[in-house]
């Protein structure tokens, strides 16, 4: 059933994901995007902070552009579980009626957003890569890849509120910190006891391996079908190790079984935004470009001068990767004193 009084819903909210006392990069990115949406709508931007002992993170939420911070600080929220977080966020939305709610398209965000949207009986657009708003209609323009990445679809939520979207990490820039910025803090109770929850966190086991840091890497050395085989990722690993970077891969290389899917960059893998992205033997299919084209510097190494990756590259090296990559590695080693 559609919401009758859409005008009752005001404000843009960003759910603040955090771990170990630090705000997740995607939440900082969303505060920047939410600020732009709120300014166009001439409304306020709020961060929503749920957890245990989260007070020390409030100043950072303000410094990234929020006007308000809604806080539920309760020991029951020490570790993420669907029920208590859904309960807390759902009740906040019911009470304060935000017009827009944004979350990161992370494992947590995807779980929580679906649960909350279902309880609110509103729409949810998942995995957005662009956000904008029409100030006249106040509709959030939620854009995401569709049909295997062949088109970009802009989705609207016309008759329900709030308008909810998850956004991929690393597709939007972080806003600069504004030292000394502050605002209103609104504290609420969770209203749920530990004995009301059926699940318990027994142990948290952190995943190991370089690939788990792919979305946070500042230098990525990625390979594609042009490598010709799994054994040739060794060349890329040597370059990555020299530069302190992380390996990445195209979907073609992953589907060929040359490297784990944990390393896949692109629409069906991880979206990245490193300072330097080496695309080696990667043709540049649209689904790959969607996941890396906002990198600060893109270096393409390919023997095909007409490959799509060349069109988005900052620097292109047309040549045999089996000669170019070892030469680059050796040169970097000399420059960095690692030879």
pLDDT at res. 96:
98
pLDDT at res. 83:
97
What predicted TM-score, i.e. pTM, was given to this entire model? 0.78
pLDDT at res. 314:
96
Please give the distance of CA 50 from its chain centroid, rounded to a whole number. Answer: 19
pLDDT at res. 256:
95
Mark the binding-site residues, compressed into ranges.
Answer: 225, 250-251, 264-268, 281-288, 302
Beta-bridged to residue 128, according to DSSP, are 167
- The token duo for 111 is 């779980």
Residue pair 264/251 in contact (Cβ under 8 Å)? The answer is: yes
Mark the binding-site residues for FAD, compressed into ranges.
Answer: 225, 250-251, 264-268, 281-288, 302
Task: Kindly give, in sequence order, each residue whose CB lies less than 8 Å from that of residue 163, ignoring residues fewer than 6 positions away.
Answer: 99, 100, 101, 122, 123, 139, 140, 142, 157
Supply the DSSP string of 9-54, one letter for each residue. Answer: ---EEEE--EETTEE-HHHHHHHHHHHHHHHHHT--EEEEEEESS-
Please determine, looking at this structure, whether the domain spanning 219-336 carries the CATH number 3.40.50.620.
Answer: no
- Write down the domain spans for the chain: 7-196, 219-336
Beta-bridged to residue 310, according to DSSP, are none
- Burial letters 35-58, b for 16+ CB under 10 A, else e: bbbbeebebbbbbbbbbeebeebb
- The one-character DSSP state at 173 is P
Beta-bridged to residue 264, according to DSSP, are 249
Fold match, 7-196 / 219-336: yes
What are the per-10-residue average pLDDT scores of the chain (339 residues)?
80 96 94 98 98 97 98 97 98 98 94 97 94 97 82 92 94 92 97 93 74 79 96 95 94 94 87 93 91 93 96 96 96 86
Omega before 162 within 30 of 0, i.e. cis = yes
pLDDT at res. 287:
84
pLDDT at res. 215:
79
pLDDT at res. 339:
66
Task: Kindly give, in sequence order, each residue whose CB lies less than 8 Å from that of residue 124, ignoring residues fewer than 6 positions away.
Answer: 113, 114, 117, 164, 165, 166
Which segments of the chain does DSSP mark as H helices, in order? 25-41, 58-63, 82-96, 107-120, 233-243, 251-255, 286-289, 308-312, 321-335
Helix 107-120 with 82-96: angle, nearest 10 deg: 50
| CATH code of the domain made up of 7-196 | 3.40.50.620
pLDDT at res. 7:
87
Residue pair 164/123 in contact (Cβ under 8 Å)? The answer is: yes
């Amino acid at each position: 059933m559609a919401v009758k009084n859409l005008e009752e819903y005001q404000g843009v909210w960003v759910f603040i994901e955090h771990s170990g006392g630090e705000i997740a990069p995607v939440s900082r990115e969303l505060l920047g995007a939410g600020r732009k949406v709120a300014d166009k709508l001439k409304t306020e931007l709020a961060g929503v902070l749920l957890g245990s002992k989260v007070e020390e993170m409030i100043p950072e939420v303000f410094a990234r552009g929020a006007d308000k911070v809604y806080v539920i600080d309760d020991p029951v929220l020490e570790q993420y579980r669907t029920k208590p977080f859904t309960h807390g966020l759902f009740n906040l939305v019911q009470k304060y009626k935000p017009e827009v709610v944004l979350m990161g398209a992370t494992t947590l965000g995807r779980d929580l957003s679906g649960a909350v949207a279902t309880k609110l009986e509103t729409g949810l657009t998942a995995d957005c890569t662009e956000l904008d708003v029409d100030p006249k209609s106040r509709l959030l323009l939620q854009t995401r890849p569709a049909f295997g990445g062949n088109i970009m679809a802009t989705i609207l939520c016309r008759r329900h509120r709030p308008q909810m979207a998850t956004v991929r990490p690393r597709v939007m820039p972080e806003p600069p910190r504004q030292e000394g910025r502050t605002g209103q803090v609104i504290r609420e109770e969770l209203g749920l006891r530990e004995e009301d929850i059926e699940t318990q966190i027994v142990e948290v086991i952190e995943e190991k391996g370089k690939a788990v840091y792919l979305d946070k890497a500042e230098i990525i050395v990625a390979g594609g079908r042009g490598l010709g085989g799994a054994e040739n990722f060794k060349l890329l690993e040597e370059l990555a190790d020299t530069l302190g970077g992380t390996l990445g891969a195209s979907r073609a290389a992953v589907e060929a079984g040359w490297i784990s899917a944990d390393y896949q960059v692109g629409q069906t893998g991880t979206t990245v935004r490193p300072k330097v992205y080496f695309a080696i033997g990667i043709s540049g299919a649209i689904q790959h470009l969607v996941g890396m084209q906002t990198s600060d510097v893109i270096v393409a190494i390919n023997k095909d001068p007409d490959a799509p990756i060349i069109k988005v590259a900052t620097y292109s090296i047309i040549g045999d990767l089996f000669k170019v990559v070892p030469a680059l590695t050796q040169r970097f080693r000399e420059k960095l004193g690692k030879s």
